[in-house]
Structure 1
Amino acid sequence: MRWLLILPALAACGRLEEVGRAPGFSALEGSTQHHAMYSAPLPESSDPDGPGAPSSLWSSSRASLFGDRRAGQRGDILTVVIEIDDSAEIDNSTGRSRSSDESMEIPSLLGLPQRIDRRLPEGASMAEAAEIGSSSSYRGEGSVSRNERLTLRLAATVVEELPNGVLRIEGQQEVRVNFELRELILTGYVRPVDISRQNEITYDKIAGARISYGGRGQITDVQQPRYGQQITDILLPF
């Protein structure tokens, strides 16, 4: 019980350092993007008689006019186009009804019902031995309506080239306006053939895409419930 009081206090003390100050940016040093950008590229094989020879008019380097400038190796940068315009609407209705009546009468059976009636309490008779009736009904309705729209462009870095040729990319963008910091984070896997000649790729061609768009700052803090309320919502079972 003591830890439940200490942990929120420690978290609140950490946030007290940001009082009156704008939220700080995340450091790029030490990240996978930083290592990919500063890593030394693999040496390119030179053919003395190939198109890259000094006497050749054709140059196959990426810096040439006809070179392929699409991202293809670790440390390269490409543009990710995020255009999400999804809408879904589901409406379900279920109904069920059942009714049944059963009765059993024994007016005569070798005179046994009459003999039994004499021993039964007053008003009881075997003429109507049993009568059963039951009914049940059920009705359920449910509906889901969702509409999401997001249009963004983000520069991502190739941080790893897998053995099968697939590229793993990561991108992060932070924009600070006054005391509110908006951040966009993206990770995923892309095929080099899906990258356009403009060195762009759409989000629907990214496998395992993880897109996070949010923020932190004074406005976000006001929109979130307090620490005590969050703990109460978790602990109270009702």
Structure 2
Amino acid sequence: MKLQQLLCCTLLVIAAGTASAQSLYDEKTYRPAAADNRAFRVGDVLTIQIVENASATANADTGTRRNNDMSAELARPHLPAINAGLGVRGDFDGGGRTTRSGKLVAQLTVSVAEVMPNGDLRITGQQLLLINDEKQRINVEGRVRPQDISDANVVISSRLADAKITYVGEGELAARQKPAWWRQFMDWVGL
């Protein structure tokens, strides 16, 4: 009986030696139960609040004046002298003013595409809306510092480094905003 028990224990030890155990802990994906929900790794999502206001004004005034006078006298013996004169005067006054402003307020969720060596997160994402057969597309790319992410996993667009935010419309309304081809040609020619 003791021999059978010893043989059984030996077989169990041999069988256990060939089995391998894997840990349930993976440091790449581990997040403590008490941790917040802020994005910190590739594939995590993050909400961007886009609040952008831009305005620019440029003024230009130009004034030039030019006066040129030239005269000549031709004297011929025994004939009356011929006097000739030429006067040129030019005035130019010009001016212009350009004013442009824009505002974009939106919110979209993007993905972390890369964790950079300094810990910043490179984010990218887009949102496509279809309103009355008009496509409205918002694209966002940039870098986010982890300390700029709120506890609610939100970042305001002014905290993005190297930000590229585009808002493009496609459809009938957007096409009507562009001048006709012949008007573009006339502008190119200068007419």
Normalised by the shorter chain, which TM-score bucket? Answer: 0.5 to 0.7
- Counterpart residue number, 1:142: 96
Q: Of 103, 122, 130, which residue of structure 1 is paired with 2:80?
A: 122
* 1:69 counterpart = 2:27: no
Q: What's the TM-score, normalizing by structure 2?
A: 0.64
Deviation at 1:118, TM superposition (A): 5.7
Deviation at 1:202, TM superposition (A): 1.8
Q: Which has the higher strand share?
A: 2
SS of the residue 2:147 aligns to: helix
CA distance in 2: counterparts of 1:232 and 1:118, whole angstroms: 60
CA distance in 2: counterparts of 1:140 and 1:232, whole angstroms: 24
One-letter code aligned to 2:37:
R
Pairwise CA RMSD = 3.8
* Alpha-carbon displacement from aligned partner over 1:156-187 (angstroms, at most 9, x marks no partner): 10011222333211111123345333322111
* Alpha-carbon displacement from aligned partner over 1:85-118 (angstroms, at most 9, x marks no partner): 222222221212243557799xxxxxxxxxx956
* Alpha-carbon displacement from aligned partner over 1:100-139 (angstroms, at most 9, x marks no partner): 557799xxxxxxxxxx9563742248xxxx9775433222
* 1:44 counterpart = 2:13: no
Gaps of 5+ in 1: 1-42, 46-60, 106-115
Q: Among all aligned residue pairs of Structure 1 and Structure 2, give the percentage whose two residues are the same amino acid.
A: 34
- The 1:207–1:121 alpha-carbon spacing in structure 2 relative to 1, beyond 3 Å, is farther
- Does the 8 Å contact 1:62/1:69 carry over to 2? no
Deviation at 1:217, TM superposition (A): 4.5
- The 1:146–1:76 alpha-carbon spacing in structure 2 relative to 1, beyond 3 Å, is same
Of the two, which has the highest radius of gyration? 2
CA distance in 2: counterparts of 1:232 and 1:140, whole angstroms: 24
- Counterpart residue number, 1:167: 121
CA distance in 2: counterparts of 1:232 and 1:167, whole angstroms: 45
Q: What's the TM-score, normalizing by structure 1?
A: 0.54
Aligned pairs, number: 163
Gaps of 5+ in 2: 1-25
- The 1:69–1:99 alpha-carbon spacing in structure 2 relative to 1, beyond 3 Å, is same
- Counterpart residue number, 1:156: 110
CA distance in 2: counterparts of 1:101 and 1:183, whole angstroms: 63
